[in-house]
Structures are given as structure tokens and as C-alpha cells.
Amino acid sequence: YIVYDSKHSFSDLIHILQRLYLNQFVSVLVVEDVFTDMQFITKQLRKWLLNVHEAKNGIEALNILERHPEIKMVLANYHMPEMNGMELVKALREKHDKENLAIIGISALDEKLLSASFIKYGANDVLTKPFSPEELLCRINHNLEMLELQTDLRDVIYRDHLTQLFNRRYLFEKVEKQFRSAKSAGQSITMGVMDIDHFKRINDSYGHHSGDAVLQAVSALFSQRFPDCITFRLGGEEFGLILFDTPFEIALSRIEQFRHDLKGTAIDLGHPVYITASFGVTDELTEQLEEMLQAADRLLYLAKQQGRDQICT
Ligand code: GH3
Ligand code: MG
Ligand code: MG
Ligand code: MG
């Protein structure tokens, strides 16, 4: 039940219902050693349909989080045996950033300084005991909304709007780091680029809208076939793929399988349309990611010259 009074508008009610519905999928960890306080908090959270985990101290909290990566939020009391709330925040922030895990620190009324310290060590928000159920709900919802906003922002910045694949920016801002650490760990790295053959003909024959639909269909198959890899759209009808820690022969045979299946896939534009694509693939390590991309691009050019619908290595 939710108690609905006339102070709320209808759109408020819809918002509350939506929140309740979304909360069912949100997992929260409460870290609190005082039994009655734990009961008070978890009772409220369960009432709001949140999925609640309980820990009596910091060590237990770290263990639970390790086993439950789906947890989005941690409510951490300050006074706890073994590891206090502040130490827990510090330990959590070594692994989880503010954009992915919200931490709300809980302190008592006579410990105003603790609130500032919580924030300083990386908590997203603080609650001061005693707090009302309403304040608890407001803080939780506010922080969940901020997490969602961060996810939306990341998608806008790092994903291509048409295909939802990663974009160039993601490649050079985020994958570059991964590239460097994989290299120093001695891992193999395979870089592939793909360009759809005679794509201009699709646009010319069926219109730009149909061209877009083809790009979306190709991208869907692409990310579906390489869920464990980084797939991105370089621009236009050109895509890229990075496989970390995979032997080159295996990487190559997966790409070959994809080339073969793409060719055989009927893309539905109201009528079936078939396309092929050309690929350049390399595992020769370079100083920078950009150079590896350029090397793959040169091989792609060769594949085009040699008649398209093939892979050059
Ligand atoms: P090739 O086999 O040599 O790659 O030939 P191609 O026709 O695929 O290559 P070309 O570079 O001549 O043409 C690419 C076309 O892709 C031209 C451009 O209008 C179209 N294109 C680029 N981005 C988009 C897009 O987002 N949507 C649609 N519908 N078309 C796009
Ligand atoms: Mg071209
Ligand atoms: Mg092309
Ligand atoms: Mg092209």
C-alpha cells in the first residue's frame, strides 16, 4: 500500500509508484552493529521494496559486497567494532567509485564533525541519528537518482547514439588505460576494424533511414557475438573490436565466424537485405592504442583492394 493524500499531484503519485517499481531491483547494504537501529532501517527499506543485505561490521560488509556486485548503495554507521564506518568508506573507495556505488554515512547528532569526514573520505551523503523514515527515504531516493543520472551521462558521453556501441571517445579515454595495463601484464591484444562493403548503395537504394536500420542490425549482431570484448563504432559504417588476453588464432577464428554469419544474415527492411563487410585485424603491439588502430585500418584498406568480404591480417 501507499498512503496517497491530496497534497500530492497525480504525477507525484506516478513518480512514487515508478520509484517503488524500480526499487525492487535495487540492492542496498546496511552496515550497523546496533540491533535496534538495524531493525529500524531495514524495516523501512523492505517496506520500500529495496533488496536489503545486512552486515554487523566493516569486514562483513566488504565480504558481502565482494559476493554481491549488484549492490548499488551502502548505508554505513560510524561506530562499529573492528572497522569503523570511516575506514569502511576508505576501503570501499579503493575499489568502487562514487558514480557506481553510493555510500551514505551515518553518525550521531553530537558528532557533527564526522559528517564532514565521511564526505571527505568519499561518502556520497550523510545521515544524522536520529532520523525519520521520511528523511531516510529522501536520501536514498536522491542518491539512487544521482546514480541513474551518472549512468545516463556516461551513456551520452561514451556511447554512439544510433547503435549504442561505444564511441571513439570511450576508446581513447577509457580503453587506452586498459590497453597499457594489459600490455605490461604481457597479455595479447587483438585489434580489429570492420567496414561494411558498398554501404552507400544501401542508402542510395533504400534511403538513409534504411541505412540506419542496417547499421543498427549489424551493431546488434556485433555486440551479441562479442559480449566479452570491447565493441565500438568508429564512425559511419566503420566499427572496431578489441579482444584482450585471447590467443590470436582464436580471436581471428571468431572474427571469421562473424564475417561468415553477417554475410548470411537477412536484415529485415520490410524485405530481406544482405550485406558483407571487410576486416583488418592485427595483434602487433604498438606504443599507443591509436597506432594499433591505424595498423588495423591499413589492413582493412588492403582487404577492400583485394575484393572486399574478407579479413586481412
Ligand atoms: P566501401 O565498400 O569502399 O566501403 O564502399 P562504401 O559505399 O561502404 O563506402 P563509402 O565511404 O563510399 O560510403 C559510406 C557511406 O556511409 C557514405 C555515407 O553517406 C554513409 N553513412 C555514414 N554514416 C551514416 C549513418 O550514420 N547513416 C547512414 N544511413 N549512412 C551513413
Ligand atoms: Mg569507404
Ligand atoms: Mg564501406
Ligand atoms: Mg567507410
Q: Which of 160, 168, 198, 199 has most ligand 1 atoms within 8 Å of its beta carbon, as the pocket-test mutant?
A: 199
In the prediction, which pLDDT does 79 show?
87
* Binding site membership of 212 for ligand 1 (Cβ less than 6 Å): yes
User: Rounded to an integer, what distance in angstroms lies between the CA atom of residue 284 and that of residue 229?
Assistant: 18
Pairs from 267-274 (Cβ < 8 Å, separation ≥ 24) = 267/213, 267/214, 267/217, 267/218, 268/217, 269/206, 269/210, 269/213, 269/214, 273/202, 273/206, 273/210, 273/214
pLDDT score at 81 = 83
Atom index in ligand 1 nearest the CA of residue 235 equals 23
Ligand 1 site, residue 203, Cβ cutoff 6 A: yes
Residue 306 CA, ligand 2 centroid: distance in Å:
14
Tell me: pLDDT of 259 over 70: yes
Among residues 134, 173, 237, 284, the one annotated as catalytic is 237
Whose Cα sits closest to atom 23 in ligand 1?
236
Ligand nearest to the CA of 233: 1
Indicate if the pLDDT at residue 13 is higher than 70: yes
Instruction: List all residues 6 or more positions away from 115 whose beta carbon is below 8 Å from its beta carbon.
Output: 105, 107, 126, 128
Give me the pLDDT at residue 300, please.
Answer: 98
CA atoms within 13 A on the CB side of 147: 24
Q: Is the pLDDT at 1 greater than 60, yes or no?
A: no
Atom of ligand 1 nearest to the CA of 211: 29
Cα–ligand 2 centroid distance for 201 (angstroms): 12
Q: What is the pLDDT of residue 265?
A: 98
Q: What is the phi/psi pair of residue 23, to 5°? A: -60, -25
**Residues 14, 9: Cα–Cα separation, whole Å:** 9
- The pLDDT value recorded for residue 110 is 75
pTM: 0.79
Residue 234 Cα to ligand 2 middle (Å): 13
Q: Closest Cα to atom 10, ligand 1: which residue?
A: 200
Residue nearest ligand 1's atom 13 by CA? 200
Place 3 in a pLDDT band, splitting at 50, 70 and 90.
low
Could you report the predicted ipTM of this complex, rounded to two decimals?
Answer: 0.97
Residues 162 and 216 sit within 8 Å (Cβ to Cβ): yes
How, if at all, do strands 125-129 and 189-196 pair?
A: unpaired
Residue 211: CB within 6 Å of ligand 1? yes
Cα–ligand 3 centroid distance for 263 (angstroms): 14
Mutate to test the pocket of ligand 1, among 196, 214, 237, 269 (most ligand atoms within 8 A of CB): 237
Identify residue 276 by its one-letter amino acid code: T
Q: What is the mean pLDDT of the chain?
A: 93
User: According to the model, what pLDDT value does residue 6 have?
Assistant: 63
Q: Nearest bound ligand to CA 303?
A: 1
**CB 192 near ligand 1, within 6 Å:** no
pLDDT tens per residue, range 147-190: 999 999 999 999 999 999 999 999 999 999 999 999 999 999 99
**Residue 265 beta carbon below 6 angstroms from any ligand 1 atom:** no
What pLDDT does residue 5 have? 63
Tell me: the pLDDT tens digits for 50-92? 999 999 999 999 999 999 999 999 999 998 888 889 999 999 9
**Alpha helix segments (H runs only) across the chain:** 10-23, 35-47, 58-67, 85-95, 112-120, 133-158, 168-170, 176-184, 199-206, 208-225, 248-264, 289-305
Could you tell me the pLDDT band of residue 219, with boundaries at 50, 70 and 90? Answer: very high
- pLDDT at position 82, please? 83
Known catalytic residue at 237:
yes
